[in-house]
A = this chain, B = another copy of it.
Amino acid sequence: MFETAQLGRKVSRAEFKKQEPVLRTELLEIQQQLRSAPFPVLVVFGGVDGAGKSETANVLNEWMDPRGVITRAFEAPSEDERARPEYWRYWLALPPAGRIGVYLSSWYSRPLVDRAYERIDMGAFHESLDRIAAFEKELSDDGALILKFWMHLGKRAQKKRLSDLERNPLTRWRVTETERLHARMYDSFATAAERLIQKTSTGHAPWDIIEGEDHNYRTLAVLTRVRDAIRQRLARLQTASAGAAGAPHRRQSDPPPTESAPAGPTVLSQLDMTQSLSRKQYKILLAQYQGRLNLLARRAKAAKVSTILAFEGVDAAGKGGAIHRVVAALDAREYQVIPIAAPTDEEKAHHYLWRFWRHLPAAGRVIVFDRTWYGRVLVERVEGFASERAWSRAYAEINDFEEQLIEHQAVVLKFWIHITKEEQLERFKARENTAYKQYKITPEDWRNREKWDAYEQAVHDMVARTSTVAAPWTLVEGNDKHFARIKIMRTLCDRLEEKVGKVKL
């Protein structure tokens, strides 16, 4: 989930200085329009200490008219606050219509900290997150525009950031004992945070995960998003009131954003696509991993652990070849490969997830999906087969689906096999020039190629929203088929070993 916020994105000082005056002017203009609008705006910050939450809130206050902004940070509750239900202080701190409320620590802080310290169990943690979701839904149903930014720093980046602050006598005061302790608990916080984001990233109040390392990048990312979201909502209200004369006004919820502007590198652009393996190395390693996999699969069967493999990738990425190497190690009675093409009539008459539920293996079996439920947020999104509402809702639906598989003791592995645009061209040409491969290439493949950038963005968003600790995405550098296949075999064996124990060949 946080992979997409560890890309080292930066904005130069020159670029920042160029964008600043434009953005400031626009923010002030929009704030002016907002003043007479019938809805409030909530800007909620969460995230890792040192990732720039308060700095960004400060810039927001500096660039906008502070008379229209209420900034709040909730500390430990006062006596007055303890004398009332927990949410009393949050209700009272809500901005009225036309204003912006900025929350530095919010209704998210206590559940997150309590869970990271293991003061509450998962059940209680989920109850808290449900309450948050209900609270935000009520506000959103009433018209509030809710923007949530999760400011992220990797473990190493956080460590560096804190020691930088400590070294400077002018900023040393900002690193307290609590921050040092929390930094040591990085992993506990990350696990709780992932769950928190997954459960509360709803259609009406989604989280944007912002890379927090570079001041310029994160400032522009957050403030551009604030500008765009308010502008979009104001425009929609105007259209609605102009369009539906006489009709009762009904607010539509904003579709969740999918990219935290400004656009930049994606998870795919960071892959080292030059990695390769010689034919000799490949043969040796493949035999080793296939032997290991065979033993592991038998043990998994005995332990009633299912294995669910999801393969995605651009055309000609080598999904078929990789799947072939995986199943070659398995007993034919124990696995099944399900190729996913266009849905049948019967499938079309059901929910899009129905056809995947249908094919679920009984416990202990291996099932390989050649293309998957992620079609909803890849091809259906890019080609416009699913509405924006439908595909943006699908991230949560898919996380929920996979969670049910995992609860039932399945191991879920998801592979995105990536190749460069040049490599794809080579492979397409080779297919056209080889008689027995011609069937593999269609005009559609050439058309899909034209939407390369849109697909790349869709993959980036997919990884951001569905790569979880329990079902992470493995991005496979696929320009060299040997390298790709071995990476897949190794990942699969390692995950199975975690679940059923190490085997010896």
Contact = CB atoms under 8 A, between A and B. Distances in A.
Interface in A287-333: 304
A129 to B, nearest CB: 10
A407 interface: yes
A117 interface: no
Contacts of A387: 248, 250
Interface of A: 40, 80, 83-88, 91-92, 94, 96-98, 121, 123-124, 126-127, 130, 134, 138-139, 141-142, 144, 248, 250, 252, 304, 346, 349-354, 357-358, 360-364, 387, 389-390, 393, 397, 400, 404-405, 407-408
A130 B126 contact: yes
* Count of identical protomers in the assembly: 2
Contacts of A358: 91-92
Given A80-B362, A85-B360, A123-B123, 5 more contacts: A87-B357, A88-B360, A92-B357, A121-B123, A250-B389
Contacts of A404: 85-87
B360 A84 contact: yes
B91 A352 contact: no
Nearest to A142: B351
Task: Please indicate which of the listed interface residues A84, A86, A387, A397 has the most CB atoms of chain B within 10 Å of its own CB.
Answer: A84
Contacts of A354: 91-92, 94
A363 B77 CA distance: 14
A300 to B, nearest CB: 14
Given A86-B404, A387-B248, A142 B352 contact: yes
Given A85-B405, A124-B123, A138 B360 contact: no
A405 B85 CA distance: 6
Contact of A123 (B127, B139, B141, B393): B127
Nearest to A134: B400
A351 B141 CA distance: 10
A87 B360 CA distance: 11
A286 to B, nearest CB: 31
Contacts of A130: 126, 130
A83 B127 contact: no
A251 to B, nearest CB: 9
28 contacts: A40-B349, A80-B362, A83-B364, A84-B362, A84-B408, A85-B360, A86-B404, A86-B408, A87-B404, A88-B357, A88-B360, A91-B357, A91-B358, A92-B354, A94-B351, A96-B349, A97-B350, A121-B123, A123-B127, A126-B127, A130-B130, A138-B351, A138-B353, A138-B400, A141-B390, A142-B351, A144-B351, A250-B387
Given A127-B123, A141-B393, A360-B85, A349 B97 contact: yes
A391 to B, nearest CB: 12
Contacts of A250: 252, 387, 389
A411 B252 CA distance: 37
Nearest to A98: B349
Contacts of A390: 141
Nearest to A247: B243
A395 to B, nearest CB: 12
